[in-house]
Each structure stands twice: as C-alpha cells, then as structure tokens.
C-alpha cells in the first residue's frame, strides 16, 4: 500500500467515525467512569498487588498465571481495560481530527491521559499502594471524567446565553467545594480498612475524624449547590438550574450512601457504589461549570 492509498483509507475512516462522534464521546465518558468503578473493585477485593510489579505482572511475565490466584486475574483484568479506554479515545480523536478546535484538543487530552494514568497506576504498585499515590491516581480519573463532559457539551450541549456573574461564581464555588470533598474522600479511604492489600500501609490519620471532616465538606457542597439552583432559577437560567438540581440529587444520594456505609462498617459493595457516585459528582460539577458559558 503506497502513501496515497493510506491517506485515502485514513480519510474514509475519519468520515465514517465523524458521523459517530457523539456516541464516541459518550463512550469516552462511560469508559472513564467505568475504570473508576473497576479500579475500586481491585482495591475492595484486596487485589491491588495481584500483579506485584509493573509494567510486567510478575518479574518474568506480562500476564497473570495460576500462582497469583484470583487477585492476579482481577488486577490483570483491570490493566487490560486500559487498552479498551485507549481504543475508544483514539477512535474519538480520529473522528474529531478534521473538526479541529477545542473538541480535538480535549480529545487529545483524554487520549494522552490514559497512558499517563497507566504510569501513575504502575507507580502505585511499585510503591506498594501508597495511599497518597492511590488518591492521586483516582483524582486524575475524576478530572478526565470532567474533560469528557466538556467534550459532550461542545458537541451536543444545549444552546444558551452566558450565565450571570453571581451564577458563575456559585458554580465555580461548588466546583471547588466538590473537589475538596472528592479529595477528602480519598483521604478517608486511605485511612480506612480498604487498602487494596493486607500489607499496604495507611495514612496514619484517624478514620473517624477524617470521615467527619469529609462529611462537613459534603454539606458545604450541598449548600452551595442549593444556592446555585435558587440563583439560577431566579435569574431565568433554566439549563443551569436544571443541571444544578440534578447535581444536588446526586450529592444527596451520595451523602446518604456515605452515612450508611460509615454506620455499617464500610461493606465493600457500598464503598464501590460510593466510588461510582463520586465519579458522577465529578461529572455533575463539570456539567454545571461549563453550562455557565455561552453556547450558540
């Protein structure tokens, strides 16, 4: 195949994917939320060191084997999901290439973030699941969820004028408060029993104290989101008010789940659902912020 044929086939592929760009953007978002959940499953099943090294699974093999048991299968399976994310992100970039502009740039951010996350994930293994490194690994995934929401808004978000200054300030305050709550949530997890491996160290902080601090940050987020919804509605910003109410519903469900898991000694299934909720909160925070900007 000569260079001209290759260019022709690439062009055909770009055109074929371009008509599916919105579904690919949704796939990007779902996949990045999904990797948060599967990463949580690795941790909650004690499989964080199922593959005890990186980039290989063991010193002699890139794949798991029987001696590593089910933990090796779970950890190796999560590593394989990285390639699924990479394929989806690459397909989106190809679809968005001719469109150019911010959509293509954001697609490249997601694409570059996946191998970068793989490296950070490798560092978590090489540091024996240091809780602070694990926290960073999770928060980067949360940030990528937000970028995926931004892409979707650019592609198919509702037309709207720019929001008022008070609404925008409240949206950004909610965003900052939400990210504080997300970070404190990782501190709670890093101080509690779900280390990902029986031998992994904890932060050394008192789990009950950091749980209460995290709870206060969540209530601050809820209050700011209520204020955002009220101000947006009074100023006739229908889309922002709608998204703020949806975010508020997610926050309240997430808060209720947090209290239930706290008083039931952190059962794994509830902690896993709480991690899914955290990813949805991250998506909601990004949604309200981007909605404050004009889209023609």
215 CB-contact burial (10 Å; exposed 0-12 / middle 13-18 / buried 19+): middle
Q: Which residue blocks in the chain are alpha helix, DSSP H? A: 3-18, 21-44, 69-96, 101-126, 131-156, 165-191, 207-234, 238-263, 268-291
Q: Looking at per-residue confidence, does 46 or 95 come out higher?
A: 95
Of 63-67, 88-92, 214-218, the least confident:
63-67
Q: Are 214 and 181 in contact, with CB atoms under 8 Å apart?
A: yes
Question: Contact 207/184 with Cβ under 8 angstroms?
Answer: no
Mean per-residue pLDDT over the chain, rounded:
90
Whether residue 24 contacts residue 88, with contact meaning beta carbons closer than 8 Å, is answered with: yes
Instruction: Decide if pLDDT at 1 tops 60.
Output: no
For 7, 169, 207, 278, the CA distances from 258, given in Å and listed in that order, are: 53, 28, 13, 10
pLDDT surpassing 80 at residue 206:
yes
For 217, half-sphere exposure in the C-beta direction (CA atoms, 13 angstrom radius) is 21
The arithmetic mean of pLDDT across residues 267-296, rounded, is 94
**What is the average per-residue pLDDT within 183-201?**
78
User: Would you say 41 and 77 are in contact if contact means Cβ atoms under 8 Å apart?
Assistant: no
Q: Are 145 and 85 in contact (CB under 8 A)?
A: no
The answer for residues whose C-beta is within 8 angstroms of residue 145's C-beta and 6 or more apart is 29, 32, 33, 36, 279, 282, 283, 286
Give me the percent of the chain exceeding a pLDDT of 70: 95
pTM value? 0.90
Query: In the predicted model, what is the mean pLDDT of residues 252-261?
Result: 92
Residue 138 has pLDDT above 80, yes or no: yes
Residues forming a β-bridge with 123: none
Give the separation between CA 92 and CA 90, rounded to whole angstroms: 5
């Amino acid at each position: 195949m000569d260079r001209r044929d290759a260019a022709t086939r690439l062009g055909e592929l770009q055109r074929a994917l371009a008509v599916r760009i919105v579904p690919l953007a949704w796939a990007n978002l779902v996949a990045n939320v999904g990797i948060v959940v599967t990463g949580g499953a690795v941790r909650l099943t004690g499989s964080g060191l199922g593959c005890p090294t990186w980039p290989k699974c063991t010193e002699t093999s890139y794949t798991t084997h029987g001696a590593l048991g089910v933990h090796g299968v779970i950890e190796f399976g999560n590593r394989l999901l990285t390639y699924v994310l990479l394929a989806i992100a690459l397909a989106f970039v190809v679809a968005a290439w001719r469109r150019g502009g911010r959509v293509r740039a954001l697609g490249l951010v997601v694409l570059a973030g996946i191998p970068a996350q793989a490296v950070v994930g490798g560092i978590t293994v090489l540091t024996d699941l240091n809780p602070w490194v694990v926290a960073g690994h999770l928060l980067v995934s949360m940030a990528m969820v937000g970028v995926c929401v931004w892409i979707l808004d650019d592609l198919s978000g509702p037309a709207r004028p720019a929001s008022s200054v008070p609404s925008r300030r409240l949206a950004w305050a909610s965003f900052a408060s939400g990210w504080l709550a997300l970070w404190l949530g990782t501190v709670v997890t890093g101080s509690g029993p779900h280390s990902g491996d029986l031998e992994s160290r904890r932060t050394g902080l008192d789990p009950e104290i950091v749980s209460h601090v995290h709870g206060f940050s969540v209530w601050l987020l809820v209050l700011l989101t209520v204020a955002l919804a009220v101000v947006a509605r009074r100023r006739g910003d229908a889309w922002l008010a709608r998204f703020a109410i949806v975010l508020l519903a997610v926050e309240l469900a997430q808060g209720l789940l947090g209290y239930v898991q706290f008083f039931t000694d952190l059962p794994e299934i509830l902690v896993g659902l709480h991690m899914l909720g955290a990813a949805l909160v991250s998506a909601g925070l990004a949604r309200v912020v981007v909605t404050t900007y004009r889209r023609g």
